[in-house]
Structure 1
Amino acid sequence: MNTPYQDAQRAGQAAVRTAILDHAIDLLVTEGAAALTMRRIASGIGASTKVLYTMFGGKEGLVDALYREGFARLRRAQQRAHRAEDPLTRLNDLAAAYRAHALAEPAYYRVMFEQAVPGYQPSAEALDAAESAFDASVEAVQACIDSGVFAPGDAREISKLLWAAAHGAVSLEIAGHFPPETAARRFHTLTAAVGQAFLADEHGQGRTS
């Protein structure tokens, strides 16, 4: 029987990287950060530690790769969201995609936002990857401004505030504070309420200063 590493090798370097990261995130979830060692990860997929060190440089590089992978997956989820003609609908669809992705990938979500690995500090490259994951949201906000749905403003700043609202609701849901029967309603109520702060009134001015 082939090891996960041998199977991934046949598919190429990208598949090897994914196999390593997937096993690392599984270890993190099931056994905690202390289990996240190069030896344990290599043993789990049937590879040598040399493979991991060559690809990631060490544990810090591997955790950085987990962080970047989490945001890369979020970016892909945002790109797959329905691109409605109406800019506000498009923005709401991106918020829904954010929530769906977080619930589908809670382990990566914790690496990205909850310091699941104590002492880890994202590299400059990782922080750039995190920032670019929200480009679709910034573009949707700008479309709302350009169409007159939102009052004039800084699209990136507005996007950050909308993200803060979505993130807060999702974090509470993942932590179990928002039960399934109310979580979706609360998420949509909160994100809609924050979005209303940026709507243009009949004079084209924002409702808040």
Structure 2
Amino acid sequence: MQNVIAINDAGRQGIAAAQATTDDMLLANIAAGDRTSMHTLYSRHNVRVYRFILRMVRDGATAEDLVSQVFLDVWRTARQFEGRAQVSTWLLSIARFKALTALRQRQHEDIDQDDVLEIPDGADTPEAALDRSRTSDILRSCIAKLSPAHREIIHLVYYHEKSVEEVGRLVGIPQSTVKTRMFYARKQLAELLKRHGVETMAA
């Protein structure tokens, strides 16, 4: 019985240690060739990276393949991470590049996001302030009518909770441009929602 308790305590300590390890620490270990840290980083971020890619490519098999490529790149290039942004932002920047490359190869220049809200995501979104039972179709339709650049900003800020600075790094545009796009994206989305009888959306 004491042996079982000791094993359980050790297991809990191991889980606590893994949770206490920051992404930056994991990446430093990965740069040194630590496969356990690579597994931990993958477990921590693969779902969000998958959802991010899926929204762009709209194909599950392609998204899964690109996720594998993203983390293979992380394993190969961990030493190049300079810590100027969060590790999660760095991961999404790699994911975005690979998704855009895949889309170019498929010659899909305009990313249609008609079914974006069908993808499960626990993050707060504009829909959180609306009656989900009657507005999911309306919001989906309105988001689809935004330009690709404005849709991308909406997704990064609301679905992935990225700051203006992080979005600028991901997309490769100045922070002032991010703010401008966000302003017009929100304004246009609010106008579209109002036409459908929805007067409010999340701030």
TM-score calculated relative to the size of structure 2: 0.38
TM-score calculated relative to the size of structure 1: 0.37
